[in-house]
A and B are shown apart, each in its own frame.
Chain A
Amino acid sequence: GESVGLHLPTLSVQEGDNSIINCAYSNSASDYFIWYKQESGKGPQFIIDIRSNMDKRQGQRVTVLLNKTVKHLSLQIAATQPGDSAVYFCAEKQPNAGGTSYGKLTFGQGTILTVHP
């Protein structure tokens, strides 16, 4: 079946380093991708998104790269801080079937990012 997966389930970095979290997706029809951050005991929070017609999008300290050729998505966090420690999920959205039907949003397993002071 279609799935979104992550290459590395855990990532440990030193404060100030750059972090790269990877995600592989298998559905070439997916047209939208999102990264969420989930802190312990909280719900996921939107970080950044990218449409399939783009290959790069930058936010504040974060950059998402999309490589449709190899169906790969990555999240880069610059100058990682202890407050960035969390689980990061990628999610892909398949095109809406039409009308009010929901364009299925599939979440990956998540990567645990730990930032050491």
Chain B
Amino acid sequence: NAGVTQTPKFRILKIGQSMTLQCTQDMNHNYMYWYRQDPGMGLKLIYYSVGAGITDKGEVPNGYNVSRSTTEDFPLRLELAAPSQTSVYFCASSYLLAGPKGELFFGEGSRLTVL
């Protein structure tokens, strides 16, 4: 198993540009999540999904969109990039909802800089 795979690993965007961060997992997990991690800070939940076709907002959803057309893929879309979106983005998945036996498996992160 490759686990959780994110692409790209690094990206520089200009203000106002759009892009999609890709995330795929091969563990047949129903639950997938997108977090952002700002320097010296913990992880904040952007969006999550409990299954194909079902998504919901996390703590910091503004400026982002997601879709979940398949179990494997959970792309994160930035429509109008802003400097405040400069961060490291982590995709994660779990077999159960985060909690006992709901261990999160994280990708290696995508470092995004908006100039």
Contact = CB atoms under 8 A, between A and B. Distances in A.
Contacts of B59: 104
A49 B103 contact: yes
Interface string B32-45: 00010000111111
- Size class of the A contact interface (CB-based, 8 Å): 20 to 34
Given A102-B48, A102-B97, A105-B98, A43 B42 contact: no
Contacts of B104: 44, 46, 105
A100 B54 contact: yes
B103 to A, nearest CB: 5
- Size class of the B contact interface (CB-based, 8 Å): 20 to 34
Nearest to A89: B42
B103 A44 contact: no
A45 interface: yes
Contacts of B106: 43-45
Contacts of A110: 40-42
B97 A43 contact: no
Interface string B8-29: 0000000000000000000000
Interface of A: 4, 9, 31-32, 34, 41-46, 49, 51, 89, 91, 93, 96, 100-110
19 contacts: A9-B40, A31-B99, A32-B100, A41-B108, A43-B4, A43-B92, A46-B104, A46-B105, A89-B43, A91-B43, A93-B98, A100-B50, A100-B54, A102-B48, A102-B56, A102-B97, A105-B45, A105-B98, A110-B41
